[in-house]
Amino acid sequence: MQPVVELDQVHKKFGALHVLRGVSFSVTKGQVVAIIGKSGSGKSTALRCMDRLETVNSGTIHVCGHAVHDAALDVRALRRDVGIVFQGYNLFPHLTALQNITLGLTSVKRMSPADAREVAMEVLAHVGLAEKAVAYPEQLSGGQQQRVAIARSLAMKPQVMLFDEVTSALDPELTGEVLKVIETLASEGMTMVLVTHEMAFARGVADKIIFMHEGQIREEGDASMLAAPKTPELRQFLGNGL
């Protein structure tokens, strides 16, 4: 099967700091890939490069048929196919949950306000928040805000969803409600790449797990690799009881 996401020998530097050192992996349609590793291993940078939030120094990235590494990339076209959700919810505080979602639909997809509202209500229902449509971000819990952020990305009908540590700012109860939404998306066949520190979640949902260490992929495989790590780095990473 043709990969939907493919990174080949990707290098990324921030000045003298060599953050990605020849990263290569692929994601097929409907696959859920979890990227794990300690802070500073290059996980989030790899994810941000897939959405062209960062440009690579060398190597190639193809996502949904877009050559992301190419200077001539149509970034708007890429982002119509790729949704990304961050640790920070990035909602506009002066807009309701509904308005946060319809904004992109009317401005980027040029939908009519009525059609945009219909789509927004549909995705809010999908994440269990239809009753919060007219609430402002400050009236929502962290978990609810994150679910609105996910709904906002889903409304654009992306082919691929990227999640960057979306639960790291949440307490365990709120983490559970966000992970439940992601589990539902996985069951529906959404192609996803998740940077996560939730090992139990990665074990239960991911088709493939990628362990990064010091800007390189040290291990890659299904959930069984967490039970029998081959490298000392992964053994040490998992040694905290997670």
Query: Would you say 20 and 213 are in contact if contact means Cβ atoms under 8 Å apart?
Result: no
Looking at residue 109, what is its pLDDT?
Answer: 86
pLDDT in tens, 97-150: 999 999 989 988 889 999 999 999 999 999 999 999 999 999 999 999 999 999
CATH code of the domain made up of 3-238 = 3.40.50.300
H or E element, residue 65: none
- The mean pLDDT value for 26-42 works out to 95
Separation in Å, CA 103 to CA 91, 106, 137: 11, 5, 15
Separation of alpha carbons 207 and 31, rounded Å: 6
Long-range contacts formed by 68-74: CB under 8 A, 24+ apart: 69/10
- The mean pLDDT value for 223-230 works out to 92
Separation of alpha carbons 86 and 44, rounded Å: 10
Residue 235 neighbours by CB under 8 Å, 6+ apart = 229
- The mean pLDDT value for 66-75 works out to 96
Which residue is listed with tokens 């946060």? 100
- The mean pLDDT value for 5-11 works out to 98
Beta-bridged to residue 216, according to DSSP, are 213
Q: Where are the domains of the chain?
A: 3-238
Q: What does the chain come to in residues?
A: 242
Give the closest residue to 210 by CA, choosing from 23, 12, 21, 1.
23
Looking at residue 218, what is its pLDDT?
Answer: 96
Query: Would you say 62 and 68 are in contact if contact means Cβ atoms under 8 Å apart?
Result: yes
Residue 62, amino acid: H
Helix (H, G, I), strand (E, B) or coil at 238: helix
Looking at residue 75, what is its pLDDT?
Answer: 93
Q: What is the pTM of this model?
A: 0.92
Q: At residue 6, does pLDDT exceed 50?
A: yes
> What is the pLDDT confidence band of residue 89, given thresholds at 50, 70 and 90?
confident
Separation of alpha carbons 93 and 112, rounded Å: 23
> What is the pLDDT confidence band of residue 240, given thresholds at 50, 70 and 90?
low
H or E element, residue 22: strand 17-28
Separation of alpha carbons 27 and 7, rounded Å: 9
Query: Would you say 97 and 103 are in contact if contact means Cβ atoms under 8 Å apart?
Result: no
